[in-house]
């Protein structure tokens, strides 16, 4: 398709004509004083007679979303950030010259400024009678179809601005997202947590197992990695004496894209000295249930057809118990690597035959058999230590960590543990990870973060820490089926030749 569609050409030409008549296409002096939403709210109960008795003139700006033309009058709806409101333009009100210009040169999609009194039409709609009308911003491109809006998913993501103009629900999702983030900030600040910012570019990417993005710093002459997690830096702050810290920002993982994964995603991590993972379960219940009340007014939400009850307390179950009770894995299968492997194969669960770490095999079973069934909020506790390299060992059973993951709607939403603060054990676990590198696991970075060990050697107070995936949380609260629906500009391949 050619560079300029016919409509685009016509519009640019009309715009130039208008400009040559002395009308500015992009003036910046208009100052709206009112907004559609509040006006509709304030005057909801006013009938036409009462509205006419108000002498006030109102002044607002917005984009023309629809238009119904008559010979000497025009109805249209303009949309500002809050809502749409109807405007009535009459030749007798704005004068024949202005009306002629308006009819010929003002298009759907233009942003205009309006001043005038309110009235109610025959059908009862609150409407502004335009006394004054000015062009604020000329639109060269036409809006999508007024009835169906913008449907094409690809176009919605590539031109999110259009999606936001056309689809009210999309605007709502991102308002809710902002509300959630703001709630969390206020919650943690009110609980005495300090908001901090730690490096996004790290010399050794740590705190999780994932493939990092690599970059290069010329002045330092060294490779840096976009962080896969802030964990190791936040713990250094515990060593430094801050007892409650949180960070709410982006992580980057150079892995697949799916309905649950975007290469950059937002994570809340918080650390609390002198607390345990059990304290964090209570805190998590408190956060989610009060967040639900804040957003929806109650503690139940609906996600993709599931009714989900966030009222505390939530179910707790051990990792192995979950495999046995929920995943229906026979207990004896978990006795050895060999039995686990062959059982997995029998049941068509894809596992790496060379996998040496029993915990990783169990995790595969868990992902396949348990996770999808955890619809109601569930804390899974007592994770195998060999897949929890930064978590404290349980005192009674050193094969498991004092750790939980929170599942809601069949997805992992949060991950938390009592922090390992013994530098000797931490070094041993890092070294074990390095050893596994021989098994050719590209996810594990070969370098030990020596400075982190050194920090622990100065003494980190006992603490618990938690990470909550904000994008998935927002999905839950906005009933969004894909992570792309809650990320303003999700990553896509560069576009081919499209209009």
- Residues near RNA, by CB under 7 A: 1-2, 5-8, 10-11, 14, 66-73, 75, 77, 86, 88, 90-92, 104, 107-108, 119, 121-125, 127, 141-155, 157, 256, 258-259, 350, 368, 481-482, 484, 490, 492-499
Backbone angles phi, psi at 60, to 5 degrees: -145, 165
Closer Cβ to RNA, 85 or 245, answer by number: 85
- Between the CA of residue 329 and those of 333, 339, 382, what are the distances in Å? 7, 11, 17
**Shortest Cβ distance from residue 305 to RNA (Å)?**
13
**Shortest Cβ distance from residue 38 to RNA (Å)?**
19
For residue 61, the cross-strand partners are: 113
Task: Name the maximum alpha-carbon separation found in the chain.
Answer: 89
Closer Cβ to RNA, 13 or 189, answer by number: 13
**Shortest Cβ distance from residue 41 to RNA (Å)?**
18
Closer Cβ to RNA, 142 or 423, answer by number: 142
Helices marked H in 310-439: 319-321, 337-346, 358-365, 423-436
**Shortest Cβ distance from residue 110 to RNA (Å)?**
10
Closer Cβ to RNA, 92 or 221, answer by number: 92
Three-state DSSP at 203 gives coil
Q: In b/e form, how buried is each residue of 384-413, taking b as 16+ CB within 10 angstroms?
A: bbbbbbbbbbbeeeeebbbbbbbbbbebbb
Closer Cβ to RNA, 30 or 75, answer by number: 75
**Shortest Cβ distance from residue 1 to RNA (Å)?**
3
Report residue 180 CA to chain centroid gap: 9
**Shortest Cβ distance from residue 499 to RNA (Å)?**
4
Question: In the numeric block, which tokens belong to residue 252?
Answer: 């980057």
Closer Cβ to RNA, 124 or 446, answer by number: 124
CA atoms within 13 A on the CB side of 119: 14
Q: Which of 23, 34, 25 is nearest to 81 (CA)?
A: 34
Report yes or no: 73 and 89 within 8 Å, Cβ to Cβ.
yes
**Shortest Cβ distance from residue 485 to RNA (Å)?**
8
- Between the CA of residue 402 and those of 57, 284, 395, what are the distances in Å? 65, 16, 9
**Shortest Cβ distance from residue 24 to RNA (Å)?**
19
Closer Cβ to RNA, 153 or 300, answer by number: 153
Closer Cβ to RNA, 109 or 206, answer by number: 109
- Between the CA of residue 59 and those of 30, 118, 177, 198, 489, what are the distances in Å? 10, 10, 30, 45, 33
CA atoms within 13 A on the CB side of 405: 19
């Amino acid at each position: 398709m050619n560079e300029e569609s016919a409509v685009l050409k016509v519009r640019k030409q009309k715009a130039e004509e208008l400009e040559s008549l002395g009308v500015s296409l992009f003036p910046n002096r208009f100052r709206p004083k009112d907004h559609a939403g509040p006006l509709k709210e304030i005057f909801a109960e006013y009938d036409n007679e009462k509205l006419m008795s108000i002498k006030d003139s109102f002044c607002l700006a917005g984009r023309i979303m629809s238009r119904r033309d008559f010979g000497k009058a025009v109805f249209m709806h303009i949309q500002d950030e809050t809502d749409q409101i109807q405007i009535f333009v009459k030749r007798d009100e704005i004068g024949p010259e202005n009306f002629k210009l308006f009819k010929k040169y003002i298009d759907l999609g233009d942003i205009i400024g309006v001043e005038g009194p309110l009235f109610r039409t025959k059908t009862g709609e609150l409407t502004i009678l335009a006394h004054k009308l000015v062009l604020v911003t000329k639109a060269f491109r036409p809006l999508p179809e007024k009835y169906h809006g913008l449907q094409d998913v690809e176009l919605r993501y590539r031109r999110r601005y259009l999606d936001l103009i056309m689809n009210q629900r999309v605007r709502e999702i991102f308002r809710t997202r902002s509300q959630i983030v703001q709630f969390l900030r206020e919650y943690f600040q009110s609980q005495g947590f300090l908001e901090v910012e730690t490096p996004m570019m790290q010399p050794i990417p740590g705190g999780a197992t994932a493939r990092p993005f690599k970059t290069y710093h010329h002045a330092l002459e060294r490779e840096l990695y976009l962080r896969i997690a802030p964990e190791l830096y936040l713990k250094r702050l515990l060593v430094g004496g801050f007892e409650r810290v949180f960070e709410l920002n982006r992580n980057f993982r150079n892995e697949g894209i799916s309905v649950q994964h975007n290469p950059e995603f937002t994570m809340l991590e918080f650390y609390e000295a002198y607390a345990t993972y059990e304290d964090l379960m209570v805190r998590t219940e408190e956060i989610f249930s009060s967040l639900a009340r804040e957003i929806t007014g109650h503690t139940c939400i609906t996600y993709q057809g599931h009714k989900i009850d966030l009222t505390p307390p939530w179910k707790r179950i051990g990792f192995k118990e979950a495999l046995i009770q929920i995943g229906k894995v026979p207990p004896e299968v978990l006795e050895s690597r060999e039995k686990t492997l062959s059982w997995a194969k029998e049941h068509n669960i894809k596992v790496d035959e060379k996998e040496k770490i029993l915990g990783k095999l169990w995790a595969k079973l868990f992902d396949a058999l348990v996770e999808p069934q955890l619809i109601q909020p569930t804390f899974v506790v007592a994770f195998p230590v060999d897949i929890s390299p930064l978590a404290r060992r349980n005192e009674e059973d050193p094969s498991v960590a004092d750790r939980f993951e929170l599942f809601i709607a069949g997805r992992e939403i949060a991950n938390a543990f009592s922090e390992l603060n013994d530098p000797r054990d931490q070094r041993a676990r890092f070294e074990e990870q390095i050893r596994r590198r021989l098994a050719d696991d590209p996810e594990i970075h070969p370098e030990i973060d020596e400075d982190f060990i050194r920090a622990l050697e100065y003494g980190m107070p006992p603490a618990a820490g938690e990470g909550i995936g904000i994008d998935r949380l927002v999905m839950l609260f906005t009933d969004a089926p894909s992570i792309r629906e809650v990320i303003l500009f999700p990553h896509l391949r560069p576009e081919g030749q499209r209009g």
